Amino acid sequence: MSELHLLDHPLIQHKLSLMRDKNISCKKFRELLEEVAMLMAYEVTRNLPLEETKVQTPIAEARVKVLAARMSIIAILRAGLGMVNGMLRLIPTARVGHIGLYRDPHTLEPVQYYYKLPKDVADGELIVVDPMLATGGSAAGAIQLLKEKGARDITLLSLIAAPEGIQRVRREHPEVDIYTAAVDERLNDHGYIVPGLGDAGDRLFGTE
């Protein structure tokens, strides 16, 4: 069964609390999302596999360890875009894929309209990013697409999760670990997380 990791680092919690405030500017929201994504990237990469190699220091040869796997960040559009740069600051060699899904306002189910993935996406570790894990439809759909492309090592990273979204991802993709900074109370009738932070895409891009 997948593991649910609650990222309770004080800096992550502090920044998330600032982001929930509806009165902060779009600029501030964007900056905070980038900063919190960088901190979350540190936590989510904690167990990445390493391999041994050798390097010549100015003094002698040293046996060292480097990352063994290729990394790809897969952003679920739109709001996932707001996490990419922060993550790239810690993992600058990661490749970046995009999956465009919108929620049908009636069924709340994801409809795919775009995807562009790194070449050989199945080769290496994938981190799927979407700040809001609400119904879980988009995340589960994105993970399904990646699996159909042969990907196996997939982790989901969300800033805030609803119990409904966690349950759905775990039911459909029991091998995928989920990392989040908060598990909120529930979804409302429009599929928004309560208390959440509103529409992350709108707040990120100023499209409210």
Minimum distance of ligand URA from residue 193's CB (angstroms): 4
Would you count residue 193 as binding ligand URA (CB under 6 A)?
Answer: yes
Q: Which of 131, 127, 133, 130 is nearest to 100 (CA)?
A: 130
Catalytic position from the list 20, 45, 70, 202: 202
Residue among 33, 79, 129, 176 that touches ligand URA (CB under 6 A)? 79
H or E element: which one contains 154? strand 153-161
Helix then strand then coil, in percent of the chain rounded to 5, is 35, 30, 35
Would you count residue 196 as binding ligand URA (CB under 6 A)?
Answer: yes
If 0-12 CB within 10 Å is exposed, 13-18 middle and 19+ buried, where does residue 208 land? exposed
Would you count residue 200 as binding ligand URA (CB under 6 A)?
Answer: yes
Q: Is 103 among the residues known to form the active site?
A: yes
Q: Which residue has the tokens 């905070």?
A: 32
Would you count residue 192 as binding ligand URA (CB under 6 A)?
Answer: yes
Site string for ligand URA, 130-159 (x = CB under 6 A): --x-x-------------------------
Region of 31-39, 44-52, 114-122, 190-198 interacting with ligand URA (CB under 6 A) = 190-198
Task: Indicate the residue among 121 and 143 with the shorter CB distance to ligand URA.
Answer: 143
Q: Is 89 among the residues known to form the active site?
A: no
Buried b (16+ CB within 10 A) or exposed e, 9-46: eeebeebbeebeeeebeeeebbbbbbbbbbbbbebbbe
Q: Is 152 among the residues known to form the active site?
A: no
- Angle 131-137-142 (CA atoms, 0-180°, nearest 5)? 75
Nearest-angstrom CA–CA distance, 183 and 181 = 7
Task: Indicate the residue among 36 and 151 with the shorter CB distance to ligand URA.
Answer: 36
Q: Please indicate if the annotation marks 198 as binding a ligand.
A: yes
Would you count residue 199 as binding ligand URA (CB under 6 A)?
Answer: yes
Binding site for ligand URA (CB under 6 A): 79, 132, 134, 191-193, 196, 199-201
